[in-house]
Structure 1
Amino acid sequence: MARGLRSLRRVELDFFPSAPVRLVFADEIAATPEAVYRALADDVAGWPRWFTAVTSARSTRQGAGREIRLKGGTRFVETVLAAEPGVRYVYRVDGTDAPGPRALLEEWRLTPVPGGCRVQWTMAADGPAPLRIAMRLGRRGLARAFAKAVANLERLLARSTTP
């Protein structure tokens, strides 16, 4: 584990339905699932351009992992568990300096809709009661951050496809 980070439980995809906390956010944008997937999985370093809570992001282990830094300095070391182009991108947090979480798993699911794509972000977490309560209470803030990130991503993708 990277220095200063504590290890989290190594959950797998079956953690989503059993997680003590599961937050789901969704929105539709005018971009193809393939374009959104490329921004999520292929251009990890580009995340700070559209997800403003992310200050730095880099792919590790030839795309099998990621290192993420958020505003305020929180760090995450992650393992990519599922990378299905145009469909979904799932990663598990293996280590963090954030207090509280015992397990974290996130999924970005992409579904074609007329004129674009439905983007769904699911966070599944386990931790002590104060963390679970804080995550539930923080749902509105996370929803706003997600909506802003998806709107930024839509603008970024629109600019990249404009001739």
Structure 2
Amino acid sequence: MVYRLRPVGLDFVANAPLRVVLASRTAAAPEEVFRALALDVPGWTRWFRAVTLARPVQRAGAEGREVHLLGGVRFMETVMAAEPSHRYAYRIDVTNVPGVRAMLEEWQLLPSGTGTVVRWTVALDAPAAVRLLVALGRPGLRHAFRDALLTLDRRLAAMRGGTR
């Protein structure tokens, strides 16, 4: 089944009924993290274990992404912001997950010494039962995020060292 979500703007990050905000530090500079997030979309499968497919797509003249996750979850997304070394955000337009009314994810990149603090916000509108499930799933989401950033950090360090 395919579910079309309500289109939302970037302000949804601040005023969504449910916001999950996670942050972690990486040794990579903001520009390196931004390239991995926004410019190497297929590369997500190499550092974010939950992502099984990620590819850029053009949809109705807008830059977008098709993303598949472990367990069969699928998203069609529209990129809402791609600000080099600062922010990458996308709205989920279509999914196979029932119960979600609107969803937007934002990755903020905050310089921290020679590295970056990466803040990932998942903003969601869904019925109370779905919001409860997401809230209960926060520890798993936190673990997946930290694991992904550790893997990304190692990958970017290897690339800086000339190995791939």
Check whether TM > 0.5.
yes
In structure 2, distance between residues paired with 1:7 and 1:54:
21
1:29 and 2:40 aligned:
no
Find the counterpart in structure 2 of residue 110 from structure 1: 109
Q: How many residues align?
A: 160
Find the counterpart in structure 1 of residue 159 from structure 2: 160
- The alpha-carbon deviation at position 17 of structure 1 amounts to 1.8
Find the counterpart in structure 1 of residue 42 from structure 2: 45
Deviations 1:57-85 (A, max 9, x none): 00011871000000011100000000001
Aligned-CA RMSD value: 1.1
In structure 1, distance between residues paired with 2:14 and 2:85:
22
Query: Match for 1:137: what amino acid?
Result: L
Query: Match for 2:16: what amino acid?
Result: A
Q: Is the contact between residue 48 and residue 148 of structure 2 (CA under 8 Å) also seen in structure 1? A: yes
Find the counterpart in structure 2 of residue 71 from structure 1: 70
Structure 1: any 5+ residue segments left out of the alignment?
none
Q: Within 5 A, what are the aligned runs for 1:1-163?
A: 4-61=1-58, 64-163=63-162
Query: Match for 1:103: what amino acid?
Result: A
In structure 1, distance between residues paired with 2:15 and 2:154:
35
In structure 1, distance between residues paired with 2:138 and 2:3:
24
Q: TM-score scaled to structure 2, two decimals?
A: 0.95
Q: Is the contact between residue 13 and residue 106 of structure 2 (CA under 8 Å) also seen in structure 1? A: no
- The alpha-carbon deviation at position 14 of structure 1 amounts to 1.1
- The alpha-carbon deviation at position 100 of structure 1 amounts to 1.5
In structure 2, distance between residues paired with 1:47 and 1:59:
11
In structure 2, distance between residues paired with 1:99 and 1:123:
17
Structure 1 runs (4+) deviating above 6 angstroms are none
Structure 2: any 5+ residue segments left out of the alignment?
none
State the identity as a percent: 52
Q: TM-score scaled to structure 1, two decimals?
A: 0.95
In structure 2, distance between residues paired with 1:116 and 1:59:
27
